[in-house]
Chain A
Amino acid sequence: MATRLGDWMDQRSGWRDSWNRLFLARIPRVSWGHTLGAATLVSVIVLMITGILLTVYYVSSPSDAHQSVQYITNVVPLGWLIRGLHHWAASALVVLAIAHLVRVILHGAYKYPREFTWFTGIALLLLIFAFGLTGSLLPWDQRAYWATQVRIEIFATVPVIGDWLARLIQGGEELSGLTLSRFYAAHVWLFPMILVGLIVVHLRLVGRHGISAAPRDERRSRERASHS
């Protein structure tokens, strides 16, 4: 039954082809370090699911934000879990993304023809930091407020356009409800859309070039080729 349904869909969508290319592709000898990219992707998926869930109860207005977060944490069943998963997956994402970047550097996997994959990866890393900046203000407690204050001061130190930039980020002269509102908009609309776009490009490029072999394996296979 399941096979027949699968066949029916395959004739009309060719999904088996995509499935095989994705999950049954031949890959070089890989190390545990090669799993870091997938682990990063899993944290992103967890963040998207838990993030969408949090918006069910979260309200991004200065009078309600803090209370709605308290409501999620203390009243909604398993709210502490969903919020906790979002919080810790965010921390894990930063660690995993950087570990993935270090693995790519150590294996020289950023080199020709994968430079563009590398660029999209760097853009993704910067975007993750932007997610962190905007997301950490949303609980709207003392820590969120003052930490964001410091970060905006850092933006204000940018030469020439610093003041203009800080006002743009804050949405005005000081950190206020307007800041909360625009951080929320960026965190749940703008950034996720850019994120999904960049991830699609990043993964398509990985599919196009294949997984890079570890340097020692590549050297060995080149030596073998030159001896024969």
Chain B
Amino acid sequence: MKLRRMSRRDFLSRMVGAVAGGMAALLGIPAAVFVIGPSQQRTAGGWVPVGPVDDIPLDQPRLFNATVSKQSGWVVEEQELSVFVSTADGSEFVALSDRCTHLACRVRYVEQTEQTGEPGYFCPCHNGVFDASGEMVAGPIPRPLDQLETKVEDGQLFVKEL
């Protein structure tokens, strides 16, 4: 192996460069960690009571509005959670988020969609259409409406936050 001779000047300037790079990393890496911070944390959603099951008619879905307190940073905020709950027999419940899967506008229930003539959900922002079970019918929507888990306790319906 041939050793390349390095001048004193070259060696020193490389050392200065290495120290400067080390200092930049020493500050740069913590800076990145700090900015990313808690932004990537996911909190598991809890069960939210939305209302009595007796209030849900058999023929069409009912919109429930529940408030959920969310901690963001050091602030606890009340957020609204809206779900369409429908039932075929009064014992099995399907809860659909009212947020359009395209760009999160609020969808509304319609008796007849233009495309099928059947009941469904319509998003006014870009004419997204879902059928009554939340499946895609028309428009720029990428996936069916989000479905939330449900459970019933003491006649009270709970949905699980996404």
Contact = CB atoms under 8 A, between A and B. Distances in A.
Pair from one complex: yes
Interface of A: 46, 49-50, 53, 56-57, 64, 67-68, 70-71, 75-79, 81-82, 85
Contacts of A67: 74
19 contacts: A46-B27, A49-B27, A50-B27, A53-B34, A56-B37, A57-B37, A57-B73, A64-B74, A64-B75, A67-B74, A68-B73, A75-B38, A75-B74, A76-B34, A76-B37, A77-B34, A81-B30, A82-B30, A85-B27
Interface string B47-84: 00000000000000000000000000111000000000
A79 B74 contact: no
Contacts of B75: 64
A75 B72 CA distance: 12
B73 A53 contact: no
A53 B74 contact: no
B35 A53 contact: yes
A76 B74 contact: no
B37 to A, nearest CB: 5
A79 B30 CA distance: 9
B37 A77 contact: yes
Interface of B: 27, 30-31, 33-38, 73-75
A138 B106 CA distance: 40
A82 B38 CA distance: 15
A71 to B, nearest CB: 5
Contact of B74 (A46, A50, A68, A81): A68
A68 B72 CA distance: 11
Nearest to A49: B27
A228 B144 CA distance: 95
Given A64-B74, A68-B74, A71-B73, A56 B35 contact: yes
B34 A82 contact: yes
Contact of A78 (B33, B73, B74): B33
Nearest to A68: B74
Nearest to A24: B13
B73 to A, nearest CB: 6
A82 B75 CA distance: 22
Contacts of B35: 53, 56
A70 B74 contact: yes
B75 to A, nearest CB: 8
A100 to B, nearest CB: 20
A71 B74 contact: yes
B23 to A, nearest CB: 8
